[in-house]
C-alpha cells in the first residue's frame, strides 16, 4: 500500500514574513499523526529559515538543485544538492515543466539533477508531462514514457524518488485531464517504471498527479488508480486551499 504524499510547490512566491506564516500553518497540521505524508517546497530564499522551524512530520524540499556533480565550486547562482540537504531539506523537485521550458532542461539534465539529489540523500521528485500540442497530437503516452526513460536514474527506489505527472497544459490553467486520462497516463507511467526499475521497485514508487489540483477536485483525482498523491502549485499558497486538498484524505 503506497502512502499518499500531498506536496506544495510554492514556486517563486512568498517573502519572509508570509512564507514563515504559511509554513507555520502547515507545520501545525503536521504535529498530529496523519494518514498521508506532507511536503512543502518553498523558494530557495526561504528554505533554510523554514527548515529550521519545528516542522513535525512535514518534509521540506527545494524546487531544483544544481546540475553539476560537484558539491561546490565556480557555479555562480547554483545551489548544490549537498547544500540543499545541509539546509535541512528532505526532498528536491527536479524537471518541473517550468524548468524544462524556461530553462531548456533536457531529460539528460533532469536525470543528472535527480542523481545529484539522490547522492546527497534527498528524495528527488521528478516531474514529467506532455504539452497541449503533444496531447492533441495523441502523443501523451509516448512523451511521458520517453521522459521516464530519459529522466529517471536506474538507481531510483521508492525511498529516493517520487514521480510527478503534470500535464503542462493543466499547470496553473484551471484545466484538468479527465479521470480516465489521468488513470491511463498513471498506469502507463507505472508500466514504464517496471521496465526501467523492475516490478518490485516500480510497485512501491509513488506517482503524484499535478496540475490545477484544488479542494473541489482533489478527492476525485486522488482516488484514481495509481495516483499516490498530488503536487500542488497555486493552491499550496493558501493554507485553506492546501489543507482543503489534504483534508480530503483524512
Ligand atoms: C505545479 O506547478 O507543480 C502545479 C501543479 O501548479 P498548479 O497546481 O498551480 O497547476
Q: What is the pLDDT of residue 144?
A: 98
How does pLDDT run across 25-46, given as a tens digit for each residue?
999 999 999 999 999 999 999 9
| pLDDT computed for residue 147 by the predictor | 98
- H or E segment and range at residue 215: helix 215-222
When the pLDDT of each residue in the chain is averaged and rounded to a whole number, the result is 98
The residue extents of the domains of the chain are 5-249
The C-alpha cell that represents 85 in the structure block: 540537504
Angle at alpha carbon of residue 39, lines to 218 and 220, rounded to 5°: 10
Provide the pLDDT for residue 174: 98
In ligand 1, which atom is closest to the CA atom of 127?
Answer: 3
- pLDDT tens digits, 68-93: 999 999 999 999 999 999 999 999 99
Active-site residue, from 96, 98, 134, 186: 96
How many Å lie between the centroid of ligand 1 and the Cα of residue 74?
32
3-state secondary structure of 24: helix
For position 242, what pLDDT does the model report? 99
Can you tell me the distance from the alpha carbon of 67 to that of 205, in angstroms, rounded to the nearest whole number? 24
Report pLDDT for 63.
99
Is 166 annotated as catalytic? yes
pLDDT tens by residue, 105-120: 999 999 999 999 999 9
Using CB atoms within 10 Å of the CB of residue 77, give its burial: 0 to 12 exposed, 13 to 18 middle, 19+ buried.
exposed
What's the whole-model pTM score?
Answer: 0.98
Are residues 11 and 98 in contact, defined by beta-carbon separation less than 8 angstroms?
Answer: yes
pLDDT band at 1 (very low <50, low <70, confident <90, very high): confident
C-alpha distance from residue 57 to each of 5, 29, 40, 156, 247 (Å): 12, 9, 11, 23, 16
Distance CA(214)–CA(159), nearest Å, equals 27
Ligand 1 atom closest to the CA of 164, numbered from 1: 3
Q: Which residues contact 59 (CB under 8 A, 6 or more apart)?
A: 7, 37, 38, 39, 40, 90, 91, 123
Q: Is the CB of 210 under 6 A from ligand 1?
A: yes
55 is catalytic: no
**In terms of CATH architecture, what is 5-249?**
Alpha-Beta Barrel (3.20)
Amino acid at each position: 500500500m503506497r502512502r499518499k504524499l500531498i506536496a506544495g510547490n510554492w514556486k517563486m512566491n512568498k517573502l519572509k514574513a508570509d512564507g514563515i506564516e504559511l509554513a507555520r500553518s502547515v507545520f501545525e497540521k503536521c504535529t498530529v499523526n496523519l494518514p498521508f505524508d506532507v511536503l512543502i517546497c518553498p523558494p530557495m530564499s526561504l528554505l533554510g529559515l523554514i527548515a529550521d522551524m519545528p516542522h513535525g512530520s512535514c518534509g521540506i524540499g527545494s524546487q531544483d538543485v544544481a546540475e553539476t556533480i560537484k558539491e561546490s565550486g565556480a557555479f555562480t547562482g547554483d545551489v548544490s544538492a549537498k547544500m540543499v540537504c545541509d539546509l535541512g531539506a528532505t526532498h528536491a523537485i527536479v524537471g518541473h515543466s517550468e524548468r524544462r521550458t524556461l530553462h531548456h532542461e533536457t531529460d539528460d539534465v533532469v536525470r543528472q539533477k535527480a542523481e545529484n539529489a539522490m547522492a546527497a540523500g534527498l528524495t528527488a521528485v521528478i516531474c514529467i508531462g506532455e504539452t497541449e500540442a503533444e496531447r492533441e497530437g495523441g502523443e501523451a503516452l509516448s512523451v511521458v514514457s520517453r521522459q521516464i526513460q530519459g529522466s529517471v536514474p536506474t538507481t531510483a527506489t521508492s525511498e529516493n524518488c517520487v514521480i510527478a505527472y503534470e500535464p503542462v497544459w493543466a499547470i496553473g490553467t484551471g484545466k484538468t485531464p479527465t479521470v480516465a486520462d489521468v488513470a491511463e497516463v498513471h498506469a502507463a507511467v507505472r508500466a514504464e517504471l517496471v521496465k526501467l526499475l523492475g516490478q518490485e521497485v516500480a510497485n512501491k514508487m509513488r506517482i503524484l498527479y499535478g496540475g490545477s489540483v484544488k479542494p473541489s477536485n482533489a478527492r476525485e483525482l486522488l482516488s484514481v488508480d495509481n495516483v499516490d498523491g498530488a503536487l500542488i502549485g497555486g493552491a499550496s499558497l493558501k493554507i485553506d486551499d492546501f489543507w482543503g486538498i489534504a483534508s480530503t484524505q483524512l
